[in-house]
Amino acid sequence: MTGGSRGIGREVVARLAADGLAVVVGYAGNKDKAEEAADAVTQAGGRAVAVRADVADENAVAALFETAEREFGGVDVVAHVAGKMVLKPLVDFDLDVLDDMHRTNIRGTLVVAQQAARRLRPGGALITFSSSIVAQATPTYGPYAASKGAVDALTMILARELRGRDITVNAVAPGPTVTDLFLEGRDQATIDRLSNIAPLERLGTPADIAAVVSFLAGTAGRWVNGQIIRANGGAI
């Protein structure tokens, strides 16, 4: 998987390992946190290894998948959690920042999806990460939402391109979720307001999102394919 060093990604690592899967914890730069996530799995009796990979670098991602095949015998589930989010009104958005974010969110998703399509075994699952913000049209989210709209399109089309392979392809689209990245720069009033958007009147947790990934990766989710699953407590 990618983006496994912190936040939602780290919780997904723990959940998939608890489900009995061996996990390759992909990370971009936070080596210590990624190795902590892998060590936690091994200390609990599971199998995991941390591997650095820029998701937009096709050679690095190929090496990530090769590690999974070499260490654990093959690839059955790919959870692509890695992403970047920069928020600013469209009129002021720096185009270099746009290119960097889209390199990770769009190119990175395509690169990981290519390797998944080539290497997943029958019965496998690819789970990409979108965002509920795509449908909410919230100011300052424009370039980020555009990148996640691209993830939606790539996911649904790849599900159809893999006809006959017995591989499911779905996207999870979280709503506001309590992570360090989400809390950074937000005052309590903003956090309280976002907590009340969903009818359940709370923010999501990484465990909430990891449970959806677990469902899609397991046998219970085999009839769900080519879908965008909005895990947001009913916010939209």
Task: Give the whole-angstrom CA distance, residue 167 versus residue 5.
Answer: 26
How high is the pLDDT of residue 236?
Answer: 73
This prediction's pTM: 0.95
* pLDDT of residue 235 exceeding 90: no
Instruction: Name all domains of the chain by residue range, CATH numbers in brackets.
Output: 7-176+205-231 (3.40.50.720)
Task: Give the whole-angstrom CA distance, residue 57 versus residue 29.
Answer: 14
Give the rounded percent of residues in the chain with a pLDDT score beyond 90. 90
CB–CB of 215/125 below 8 Å?
no
How high is the pLDDT of residue 148?
Answer: 98
Give the rounded percent of residues in the chain with a pLDDT score beyond 70. 100
Helices (H), the chain: 7-18, 31-43, 58-72, 95-102, 108-119, 133-136, 142-161, 180-183, 188-195, 206-217
* pLDDT of residue 181 exceeding 80: no
How wide is the angle at C-alpha 124 spanned by C-alphas 59 and 108, nearest 5°? 30
Identify the active-site residue in 27, 65, 141, 144.
144
Q: Stretch 151-162: mean pLDDT, rounded? A: 98
Closest C-alpha to 33, from 75, 63, 62, 4: 4
* pLDDT of residue 114 exceeding 90: yes
How high is the pLDDT of residue 155?
Answer: 98
In the chain, what are the helix, strand and coil shares in percent, each to the nearest 5? 50, 15, 35
pLDDT level of residue 56 (50, 70, 90 thresholds): very high
CB–CB of 208/8 below 8 Å?
no
How high is the pLDDT of residue 151?
Answer: 98
Q: Is 141 a catalytic residue?
A: no
Task: Give the whole-angstrom CA distance, residue 2 versus residue 83.
Answer: 9
Q: Stretch 131-158: mean pLDDT, rounded? A: 96
Any idea which residue has 């085999």 for tokens? 222
